[in-house]
């Protein structure tokens, strides 16, 4: 189903896949893990594990929350010289500007 994230229409699953591929290109591992809400109410985020960048995402989060977590995490890196589809770059710029 297409989603409208700040005026950008992109299939949710396509956006999620492209963001995961971008993370892989940057050498960032993406892990989906169950985050127990009693312990922490978070959809996840960026961290370093044994010196490596990792994005941990709550496996139970809604797809738009997973997309938001990836965008928020990837905005910490220089993406200017990385090739990506224009719609993905626009998604990162527009959604990232709100974070």
For residue 42, what is the domain's CATH number?
3.30.2010
Question: Could you give the count of Cα atoms lying within 13 Å of 95 in the half-sphere of its Cβ?
Answer: 27
Q: Is the pLDDT of residue 38 over 90?
A: no
Q: What is the pTM of this model?
A: 0.82
Full domain range(s) for residue 63: 2-97
Q: For the chain, how many structural domains are there in total? A: 1
Position 73 scores a pLDDT of 96
Q: Is 44 exposed, middle or buried (0-12, 13-18, 19+ CB in 10 A)?
A: buried
| Average pLDDT over all residues of the chain | 85
The average pLDDT across 4-21 equals 77
């Amino acid at each position: 189903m297409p989603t409208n994230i700040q005026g950008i229409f992109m299939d949710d699953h396509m956006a999620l896949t492209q963001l995961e591929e971008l993370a892989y290109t940057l050498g960032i591992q993406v892990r989906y893990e169950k985050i127990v809400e009693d312990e922490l109410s978070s959809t996840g985020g960026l961290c370093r594990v044994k010196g490596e960048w990792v994005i941990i995402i709550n496996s139970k989060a809604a797809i738009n929350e997973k997309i938001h977590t990836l965008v928020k995490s990837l905005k910490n890196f220089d993406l200017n010289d990385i090739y990506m589809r224009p719609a993905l770059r626009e998604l990162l710029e527009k959604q990232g500007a709100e974070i």
